[in-house]
Structure 1
């Protein structure tokens, strides 16, 4: 959810309309996933907001779930960006809804990122460590490429992180824009074939419209839905599987407590998970501890490294099976063993290597050692493509981590393939714990 003190519709007044009841806890996947380290915009105080680089970085530091915002471009493409303009975070100007996807893709989404402060324009150039990576003026970090620093489409996020749950917030400057985004999102999710998503908006009408169009996808209510459920005595809106709320809300010089034991208990009693989003001032161990003591199911944090360190020190139970017990509801135990898959292939800096992003899912207990092998496909004289062994390597994903990067040293034929072939299919095979996963990735297809 958006940072800051947003109007929770008036959590100081009862909502008026009664809405259908929510499903039971037995059918709510989010009640079996805790404690989630939900990387807000990828962890926007640590990495550039809503970029593929930021998401991967947050997951590699212990994140369990991606939180992102979607707007629609002028030509109807869903893109991950928080603001309704590109001015604050990029080197461009203008409203997202007025720019085409091609125009948005050219922008540097890390242009104004300052570590520890999110996007802050007007600083000396030295304050921006990733400025220029998108344009090619600066080399990307190992295992990444220039395209990882642009504004991504929702499809690119899903393709890069096929096994990571995603929280999607419908955005737009006007309700009409939110309705358009929600309609596009409903159509896209129906095609995408994934169920590990939850959709939210501050605008309850936008949530209701989305749910009517795509009722099989989980939602979190907006301002009016939260108000009615917590104070108005009405059931949660149809499709509600989580409340996503701030700790407090300030109005008229007074501050009201939103996250209380009674409200957490009420949500859980109705079969609804509770996800809490934090302001920067709330990113500390005292706040984290209080939230875990209240048995919240997830925390949307801009500082996933700090929150992960707290979770590990406390040995909090986790969706990946690691951690201990805290007296709250136990998460659903994932199937035992290492499960990994390849998610993206990137050229190495020197030409003699390729970098393969490896994604782990399910059981995250213990380190997971994986072998990787790459095979290039070349069109020959026969009816079938020729297989070229490109190289192999190893990678270890630490306990509790989802993502890592494997460096693959290329064979002689592999180096020639990488130099001469762009946009070619590469078969990536990742083996861990006696299980192998193979999939076709594109070299240089960014």
Structure 2
């Protein structure tokens, strides 16, 4: 595998991606005696986002070995990534037949059904897989799979799984199509903030911020306050200096941003907005509804019962952000214990990234029982009601829209994932 990967990289540099894909496909066709060849080739193509070639190579291998679950999984994943949910569903169903005790097939089939607009079937099949695989040691190979399994296992005392399923069903339910929420006064007025370490953001990023400013203006809120590295550090030195060790040791702009957003949220009302997101058409309505509640607002991911940190509203004194801040004050990215850890893992999972938000929610649910899920404001919002406070949750597509892939910096080392992969390849 390693030899073929290096050879593929060399050919791609010399002859380009199209020629490389043709050679990999020719290799798969010409080596029927090598049973693992199709799997290796399909995986290589999938990792490079050459999904159509991955599907072609994998399908060739499946004709020879139709009961090969690992290869079937790669093909099903590639179909999903290539925007072919119907074909992904076919392969996922075959994977369930070949490996009924593994969760991967159920997960891909469920996601495919969701993309096909069959949400009730999606949830029903997912729960069938969860019930079957809850005690299985196989679990699954991806983060999404593990997050489904973990949320399902905790559902009796942490209602994140319940919020997610109700959000999915509400999105697909015609009678719950969003209508303008009732006019209510805003109970609080957070300051919207963003971070661009290098100084003035590029024009394409600034245009996204201006779109948010129009939404904020319609609500009577101040425009986004964009902090560069110097301004953010000065603000933290004045308001929460305990975070400076984390900020100063952050290995990338994105990690600086992670530190700053939590530092600000720990001491002041704020609306955090990642710079690569656009407002959805219903963004103003969602924000207005949320600002009628005396509760912080968290981002519930659409495809998996998990939290995202790219947008949130923090209420000053909120127990969620206070607990997260306590757990991270004094965190040092440069600590020797992280020397051998991948930068992706360090930034996303071990420090201030989305994993910390999800872990903090689980800890709050453990410490503040009972916790009740509240769905009466669907599709706009849902709540977790703790004994002494509440948290609101929104489903991503109602507040934010994609578009980050169109930004120029996304293909450069200014984007943390590009940078992190460059570090791993160094």
TM exceeds 0.5? no
TM-score (norm 1): 0.27
When normalised by structure 2's length, the TM-score is 0.28
Larger relative contact order (CA 8 Å, sep ≥ 6):
1
